Amino acid sequence: MSRDGFIITNYHVIDNASSIEVTTNDNKSFSAELVGYDENSDIAILKVDSKRNFPYIIFADSDQTKIGEWVLAVGNPFNLTSTVTAGIISAKSRDLSDFDSKNQSFIQTDAAVNSGNSGGALVNINGDLIGINTAIQSNNAGFIGYSFAVPSNIARKIL
């Protein structure tokens, strides 16, 4: 999220954690602390304890996304680090309040997202952040053809 070690993820990923550790793609681990969150939008902001310059991603305007636009979902499903899947935006402003979600403006995509993808990036074909992978609606916690992400514009408000 930023060069100086601020990271955005889902609140439910770190909720009730006694400590937080972040592992980068080069297998280096860092302690992190929760510096902000919004439980209603399921967004948390972490700060990594390091003076290192980190690679970061550009926030795109999620309101400008279009249904049918290609997206990539990045995450760690089933501990498979840095898994990338492709799909399209299937719907916008999806209301999941019937499923106990407080946020009512999800991006729906058909990119394969499974348990462990939560908190990962949903990016456009330019590699810009358009959402945070957040939810699937499945009885067995496996992908069933659609998934949901908090739009980047909602996540940005927590910053």
Verify whether residue 26 is a known catalytic residue. Answer: no
Residue 91 lies in a domain: yes
pLDDT number for residue 24: 87
Verify whether residue 4 is a known catalytic residue. Answer: no
Catalytic residue among 62, 118, 147, 152: 118
Give the whole-angstrom CA distance, residue 105 versus residue 41: 9
Catalytic residue among 42, 101, 110, 152: 42
CATH number, position 126: 2.40.10.10
Give the whole-angstrom CA distance, residue 124 versus residue 126: 5
Q: Per this entry, what is the length of the chain?
A: 159
Q: Taking the chain, what is the end-to-end CA distance rounded to the nearest angstrom?
A: 10
Looking at the structure, do residues 22 and 78 belong to the same domain, yes or no? no
Average pLDDT over residues 4-16: 93
Q: How many domains, the chain?
A: 2
pLDDT number for residue 146: 84
pLDDT number for residue 7: 94
Residue 108 lies in a domain: yes
Which range marks the domain in which residue 18 is found? 6-48
Q: Please name which of 14, 57, 59 lies closest in space to residue 36, comparing C-alpha atoms.
A: 14
Q: Is 94 left (phi over 0), alpha (psi -120 to 50) or beta?
A: beta
Catalytic residue among 12, 38, 105, 138: 12
Give the whole-angstrom CA distance, residue 91 versus residue 39: 23
Summarize pLDDT for 96-142 with one digit per residue, the tens. Answer: 665 555 666 889 999 988 888 899 999 999 999 999 998 776 666 66
pLDDT at 53 over 80: yes
pLDDT number for residue 143: 62
Average pLDDT over residues 24-40: 92
Residue 120 lies in a domain: yes
Average pLDDT over residues 10-34: 92
Looking at the structure, do residues 68 and 137 belong to the same domain, yes or no? yes
Q: Which residues pair with 123 in a beta bridge?
A: 72, 129
pLDDT number for residue 99: 53
Looking at the structure, do residues 19 and 94 belong to the same domain, yes or no? no
Verify whether residue 41 is a known catalytic residue. Answer: no
- Tokens 């330019």 sit at which residue? 126
Average per-residue pLDDT for the chain:
88
List, edge to edge, every strand of the sheet that includes 29-38: 6-10, 43-48, 29-38, 20-23
pTM given for the model: 0.88
